[in-house]
Amino acid sequence: MRHFLSSLLCCCCAFLWTLPAQAGNQKEEAMADAVRLALSKAVSDPRPPKPSFTDINDRIVYLYWLGDMSARLKRRIPDHQSRIELLEAVWYEAKRAGLEPALVLGLIQVESAFRKYATSVVGARGYMQVMPFWSRVIGDRDAQKLFQMQANLRYGCAILRMYIDMEAGNLYLALGRYNGSRGHPEYPNAVLANWKNWEYKK
């Protein structure tokens, strides 16, 4: 009986892992040329997402953060190297866009459940469920890059930052816009709740 239950649980987990992501449908919106250019520059920077610090205390805090987040993420991403690479990129891209890494992790949990190749029913791709049209609007038209970790995080963070600015800092409305569900509470509430799961207490 125990063997049967264990097998059933594994099958259920495998099934859930292959389910499409439940992302909303980001809308292609009119934007000023300056905004489009800024986003294009933000996603085209080829530098690897390796955090660097001038203050040793900041580096120590980061390393403690990395260890704590790695332990929390281990159940979802068992491979140590993959987990560290993702967390390094999340920190780098979040800070680069002026976002909290915990917010980005909370959004990833809701959008893709940390599945690199997640695809939603409307075609959004990767960790942060970026719609393919963004590769045409601000990228190099290669939508396959949205399955690459750094590219996906860079697009996602840049787009979320743009929405926050569009909404004059209102994160609730910005999250709704990111998900294509502006004005509806379910998605922003889910991301904000999961944000709490990834906050780091020094």
Q: Using CA of residue 14, residue 122, residue 86, residue 188, what is the dihedral sign?
A: negative
Contacts of 202 (CB under 8 A, 6+ apart): 61, 64
Domain 2-197, classified CATH 1.10.10, yes or no: no
Q: What is the pLDDT of residue 25?
A: 66
Kindly indicate the confidence band of residue 26, based on its pLDDT and cuts at 50, 70 and 90.
confident
Q: What per-residue string of b and e applies to 18-31 under the rule 16 or more CB within 10 Å gives b?
A: eeebbbbebeeeee
Instruction: Work out the angle between the directed axes of helices 186-197 and 101-112 (0-180°, nearest 10).
Output: 120
Kindly indicate the confidence band of residue 27, based on its pLDDT and cuts at 50, 70 and 90.
confident
pLDDT per residue as tens digits for the range 92-150: 999 999 999 999 999 999 999 999 999 999 999 999 999 999 999 999 899 999 999 99
- Between 41 and 58, name the one with better pLDDT: 58
